[in-house]
Amino acid sequence: RIRKNIWKKKGYWAALKAFSLAKSLSTGNSKSFLYKN
């Protein structure tokens, strides 16, 4: 169960980063994404 939770968290953060990247690209604000990342 613990390992599954870790993978779920990793997947969540990966999705969150992907969402932030897509959002920054759509707004043309990729510099702020690189800064945050």
Question: Is the CB of residue 20 less than 8 Å from the CB of residue 11?
Answer: no
The average pLDDT across 15-35 equals 72
Which of the given ranges, 5-9, 16-20, 26-30, 31-35, has the highest pLDDT on average? 16-20
* Cα distances (Å, whole numbers) of residue 5 to 9, 10, 12, 33: 6, 9, 10, 27
Residues 6+ apart with CB under 8 A from 36: 20
Residue boundaries of the structural domains of the chain: 2-36
**pLDDT at 31 (0 to 100):** 60
The average pLDDT across 16-31 equals 75
Question: Is the CB of residue 9 less than 8 Å from the CB of residue 16?
Answer: no
Tokens 């390992």 — which residue? 3
The average pLDDT across 6-19 equals 85
| Phi–psi pair at 28, nearest 5 degrees | 70, 30
pTM value surpassing 0.75: no
